[in-house]
Amino acid sequence: MDLKARGVDDAAAAALSTEVTQALASLRVLTVISGEDVRRLLALEETRQGCTGEVDAACMAEIGGALGVQHLVYGEVARLGTTYSISLVLLDTSKASAINRTGGKVEDTSQLLAETSKLARALVAPLFEGKRGSLVLDVRENGAKVVIDGKTAGVTPLSRQTLVMGPHEVRVDKPGFLAWARTIDVLPDEVAVEAVTMVPNESFIADYEDSARRLRMLAWIGAGTAAAMLGTAGVLRVVDDARFDGLIAKGYLETRGVCQEIDPAFNGTDLCPTEAGQRNDVVASVRAIETADSVALALGIGGVIIGATAAVLFLVGDPPGHYAPFAAGPDGVSAAFSF
């Protein structure tokens, strides 16, 4: 039914009445007849004459009975000073009793239509208790708190939520980010997928970039250090092999068992020193080569560990510039929303 106007002009009340009709029809599960439709279909003067002239449940139930509808929505829009008040009632025409009531107040006239639409959807929520759908929030930021209809649903990443059909107030909050809020319609036996873009504030972006740059710098330093260590280990290994080959070429070392073992303590290789080798202190040379080999091995192992750590920092560390689209430009406007 048309909203009753109190302190507002009839055109504004008619516009809000139309908004209620459209909001209910957009739910796609109700057959909605507006006051204007009624005037075109029926002559209600006789019914009105039987009413007191006031908006009461008995009168509304009588009109609803004349129309043959199960439920009837009526209400009023009022203005007191600069505040606009909208109130709606959902009536069960068979019992002449209110099923639900909603109301809201706004100061800005530009918010009247949006507030009226929200109240209309919330008004008929009790009719949909047996009808459920699902909501999936695609939130790229992990650890954000999700509140649905005033109740905490969890933190992201959030599993699919099963909700009563109808409009639901969804809010996503995370420290350092602007709050995201929206009214989302859930239809029966359908899945509503909503992409949520969390916009960071300037302080968060600055802290994030500083941390990301430090981690990336550590990753590059680690990668460079690992490359230097592995390269040095490789060079030492090549040099040591060449030195061993030189000792063998000079006849200082022979395969164990062929030459006479002069130094029983010498067991660093499968070779043994010859007499010529002993005269030229080949044992000391072999010990030096083995020490260099140990250093090469340590450098190689350390290089692999540091390289792996650097790779992890590259793969899982925060990448610099991740929030660059949201950073304020020279004019102070976020690049993500500049034109």
In the chain, domain spans: 4-128, 132-198, 203-326
**Alpha-carbon separation of residue 212 from 52, 144, 205, 319 (angstroms):** 72, 20, 10, 6
Average pLDDT for 229-253: 88
315: three-class secondary structure by DSSP: helix
- Report residue 50's pLDDT band, with 50, 70 and 90 as the boundaries: low
Residue with tokens 């930021």: 141
Average pLDDT for 156-172: 88
C-alpha span between 192 and 202 (Å, rounded): 32
- In this structure, are strands 71-80 and 4-6 parallel, antiparallel, or unpaired? parallel
- Report residue 204's pLDDT band, with 50, 70 and 90 as the boundaries: confident
C-alpha span between 204 and 324 (Å, rounded): 12
Average pLDDT for 184-202: 87
| Residue 52 structure tokens | 């007191």
The answer on pLDDT for 138 being more than 50 is: yes
Q: How far is CA 179 from the centre of its chain?
A: 12
Of 132, 136, 113, 141, whose CA–CA distance to 200 is shortest? Answer: 141
C-alpha span between 147 and 163 (Å, rounded): 13
Average pLDDT for 193-213: 85
Q: How far is CA 36 from the centre of its chain?
A: 44
C-alpha span between 57 and 143 (Å, rounded): 48
The percent of residues above 90 in pLDDT, for the chain, comes to: 23
Q: What is the largest CA-CA distance in the chain?
A: 134
Average pLDDT for 229-257: 84
What lies within 8 Å, CB to CB, of 331 at 6+ separation is: 338
The model's pLDDT over 212-231, given as tens digits with 9 standing for 90+, comes to 888 888 889 999 999 999 99
- Report residue 258's pLDDT band, with 50, 70 and 90 as the boundaries: very low
Is 4-128's fold the same as 132-198's? no
Average pLDDT for 129-158: 89
Average pLDDT for 286-310: 89
From the DSSP assignment, how many helices (H) and strands (E) are in the chain? 8, 13
The CA-based angle 191-193-194, given to 5 degrees, is 145
Q: How far is CA 326 from the centre of its chain?
A: 15
The answer on pLDDT for 338 being more than 50 is: no
What lies within 8 Å, CB to CB, of 255 at 6+ separation is: 270, 271, 272
- Report residue 46's pLDDT band, with 50, 70 and 90 as the boundaries: low
* Predicted local distance difference test score (pLDDT) of residue 94: 82
What is the DSSP secondary-structure string of 230-276?
Answer: HHHHHHHHHHHHHHHHHHHHTTSEEEBTTB----TT--SSSEEE-HH
For the entire predicted model, the pTM comes to 0.49
* Domain topology for 4-128: Rossmann fold (3.40.50)
Average pLDDT for 235-253: 86
The answer on pLDDT for 337 being more than 50 is: no
C-alpha span between 146 and 163 (Å, rounded): 14
What is the DSSP secondary-structure string of 22-33?
Answer: HHHHTTSS----
* Predicted local distance difference test score (pLDDT) of residue 266: 53
- Report residue 208's pLDDT band, with 50, 70 and 90 as the boundaries: confident
C-alpha span between 228 and 239 (Å, rounded): 16
Average pLDDT of the chain is: 81
The CA-based angle 189-198-135, given to 5 degrees, is 5
329: three-class secondary structure by DSSP: coil
The model's pLDDT over 57-66, given as tens digits with 9 standing for 90+, comes to 667 667 766 6
* Statement: 132-198 belongs to CATH 2.60.40.1180: no
Q: Which of 17-31, 137-151, 258-272 has the highest mean pLDDT?
A: 137-151
